[in-house]
Amino acid sequence: MITRWFSLDHKVIGLQYAVTSMVFLLAGFALMMLLRWQLAYPMQPVPLIGSLLGSNNAAQGILLPGFYNQLGAMHGTIMIFLGVVPLSVGGFGNYLVPLQVGASDMAFPRLNMLSYWVYLAGGLLMLGSFFAPGGAAASGWTSYPPLADIATTGQTLWLLAMILLITSSLLGSINTIVTILQLRAPGLTFMRLPFLVWAQLVTAFLLLLAFPPLEAAGLMQLMDRVSGTSFFLPSGLVISGTPSAATGGGNPLLWQHLFWFLAHPEVYVLILPAMGIVAEVIANGIRKPLWGYRLMVYASIFLGFMSMVVWAHHMFMTGMGTTMSAFFQTTTMIISIPSVVILTSLLMSLWGGSIRFTTPMLFALAFLPMFGLGGLTGLPLGLASSDIHLHDTYYVVGHFHYVVAPGTIFALFAGVYYWFPKVTGRMLDERLGRLHFIGSFVCMNAVFMPMFIQGLAGLNRRLYDGGLGYAHAHGLQKWNVMQGWAAWTLGLVQLFFLVNVAISLRRGRRASDNPWDATTLEWATSTPPPHGNFAAVPTVHRGAYEYSVPGAARDFLPQHLGAEVLASERSERATRSERAGEAASESACRGDRGAKPLGEK
């Protein structure tokens, strides 16, 4: 059992990442449901569990403002750094990249194992901060100083946990890069790689280049808190009427630059693996090659590069000069182009396809308009003149969540439904899958769409009472109630998924080695894949999306099948057709000989 838990096999590690990150996602979602109660019914006791939250967090079951801030900060941190990124990169990346490139494992298996356990330690430390004196971090998921520098002990644990999580991501990104560049199967040139592998490669470079500045910033903020330094504390800081002794010319804006230098590439760390998953599912579901595969590859590379030079559009309110504002406005508009290229290629691929509306395909198709809406609503935030009015309103929350929730998370669900048969040898139930999709689609839009209305009306995103303390927000309270009920219903809808997984693992229909008739290398091995993945190193003969090739014996050509095998299949198909024709002719002749002249009895 211990050997299994500390396995070096990339598939076991990928499953460890996937299951752990889903548990963290569930925890982060639970925090959000508490937040939605406070916003929908301010100053009302939380039903059922209010008395269990503790008097320091909820007086007589009513959430206190400090605990509300903790919930907001930890919800964002958990969902991004403990949930979505580890699932898309650590889960899908670890499990699928070696299989799709034809490798027996990741390049550095022990480093791979270490990355997971460091991640798990960081996650447990993050959740454990709720039990620290003063509670968990309450300075937002961005941890802005000087507030974060003078916060309670939970903020120190937040920083320590983030350092562990960043270290884990750096170890994993190095492994992914080396695996893709060095361990590809014979014949698997770069332009024969599945788009998911390209997405994981660009994502790994983003993590490797963008995370170190945040890790350095985290160490500096930690020193500010525990060692009396003043990297981010300005001179003359007064705390509760008392001048702070540990101040010496620090700059809070330095933290913002270091944080957003990571956090905006982090958006593409979230979205690029999702695009890769959607590309795999759509290509299989439409039974034709992706339109503009090379364009998508070049766009993803350009997207990764440009994501490093747009971070300050989060900082238009800090008083930067018009020249710098103009520069970051321009780069922000430019970075929308490769995103549009990838989205357009996926949409164009649908034209003329023989679409199979399976559950993974439904989630993948829903990703397209949801991500498109998230990207489109981000454009006003990239322009200083409009961002000044929309900054820190619910419009920003709606924009970001459309990218991450019905965008990225829909893509992750598509991937779970698509590769579940390969991982477990069982098919998920389609009826429960469709109920899960429909409920999630309706509820997520009911939660996030009204946020644009609230934001345009000027409702600030961090109001403990949902805005009731401001006259202009009184008419918006009905949206908070609607969003609350939609969020709680969304939680119930996820039971369809959990029940589906539980039942299918025990009694689900058994899956063949290639139940979706797919072309990429992970479907060339047995189900579930054995240790070492392949009985023999596969040789790649063609691109990743050879569907519906004219003259082929079937509507998909796997990458690993050689020309002689395909020729044999065509010959066998022709022979079967010829025999069927001869049989039909003989049957017709026998029918003619047995026929009687007209009128004869």
pLDDT tens per residue across span 465-475:
998 889 989 89
Residues of the chain with CATH 1.20.210.10: 2-231+250-430+437-507
pTM of the model: 0.92
Give the pLDDT mean for 378-391.
93
Mean pLDDT computed over 444-459:
96
Between CA 549 and CA 541 the distance in angstroms is 14
| Side chain identity at residue 364, one-letter code | A
Tokens representing residue 335 in the block: 């970075």
Residue 291's pLDDT band, with cuts at 50, 70 and 90, is very high
Percentage of the chain beyond pLDDT 70 is 93
| Structure tokens, 27 | 């925890």
Residues β-bridged to residue 510 = 426
Mean pLDDT of the chain: 92
pLDDT computed for residue 566 by the predictor: 62
CATH number of 2-231+250-430+437-507: 1.20.210.10
Read off the pLDDT of each residue in 321-332 and give the average, rounded to a whole number.
Answer: 93
Q: Is the pLDDT of residue 15 over 50?
A: yes
Q: Are 457 and 476 in contact (CB under 8 A)?
A: yes
Q: Which of 241, 257, 233 is nearest to 149 (CA)?
A: 233
- Identify the band that residue 353 occupies on the pLDDT scale cut at 50, 70 and 90: confident
As a whole-number percent, the residues of the chain with pLDDT over 90 amount to 82
**H helical segments located in 136-251:** 153-182, 195-226
Within 8 A by CB and 6+ apart from 597, the residues are: none
Q: Between 530 and 567, where is the model more confident?
A: 530
Cα(14)–Cα(219) distance, integer angstroms: 29
Model confidence at 583: pLDDT above 70: no
| pLDDT tens digits, 78-121 | 999 999 999 999 999 999 999 999 999 999 999 999 999 999 99
pLDDT at 571: 64
Q: In this structure, are residues 48 and 114 in contact, taking their beta carbons and an 8 Å threshold?
A: no
Angle between helix axes 359-378 and 430-456 (nearest 10 degrees) is: 10
Phi and psi at residue 595, in whole multiples of 5°?
A: -80, 145
Asked if 116 and 90 count as a contact pair (C-beta separation under 8 A), the reply is: yes
Beta bridge partners of 556: 547
Confidence of residue 210 (pLDDT cuts 50, 70, 90): very high
Q: Quick check: 539 and 185 in contact, CB under 8 A?
A: yes
CA-CA distance, 457 to 180, in Å (whole number)? 48
Q: Token pair for residue 454?
A: 């609230």
pLDDT for 117-166, tens place per residue? Answer: 999 999 999 999 999 999 999 999 999 999 999 899 999 999 999 999 99
pLDDT band (50, 70, 90) for residue 601: very low
Say how many residues make up the chain. Answer: 601
